[in-house]
Amino acid sequence: MATERQLDTVLEVSGMRRDDCLRALGQARQALDQGRQQLEQLQSYANESQARWNHRASQGVTAQLLYHHRQFMARIDEAARFQQDVLKRLEAEVQRCEQLAFDAERELAALNKFAERKRQATLQALERQDQKHNDEMAANAHRRQASTQPWRH
């Protein structure tokens, strides 16, 4: 019985570990989605800024304004590259969390299978013990009957 309680505890801890891994995976996926949205916003802003610039440039601009626009666009491009690097790290984190969740799920499944086999073995041992006890009782009853009624033997 103590072993069964220990096994139940191990199963519970393994289940909590799996749940923690799944929770971390959900958070990592959410962070990745937010990172993608930020990159899309940056790219959209860059496209809108370039479209406004193209419209304005068609009417003529000064060299200083052109210089500032190029610096501004370079900063936006730098921010987009930085965000792409962030996305790579977030994707790696999602993959790491997926692997941890997979491993935790596999471990829990193996422990559940082991626990089920252990329970089945315990049940079979109890059934054999019960059968042995019943056989002994029947044999004793038969011996008592044979000793009190030898002619029926």
CATH code for the domain in which residue 112 is found: 1.10.287.1700
Q: Is the predicted pLDDT of residue 124 greater than 80, yes or no?
A: yes
Which token pair is 32? 């990745």
What is the count of structural domains for the chain? 1
Q: Is the predicted pLDDT of residue 152 greater than 70, yes or no?
A: no
Please give the share of the chain, as a percent, with pLDDT higher than 70.
Answer: 96
Specify the pLDDT at position 145: 83
Q: Looking up tokens 């393994």, which residue turns up?
A: 14
Weakest mean pLDDT among 36-45, 69-78, 132-141:
132-141
- What's the domain range around 8? 2-152
Specify the pLDDT at position 2: 60
Rounded to whole angstroms, the Cα distance separating 149 from 153 reads 7
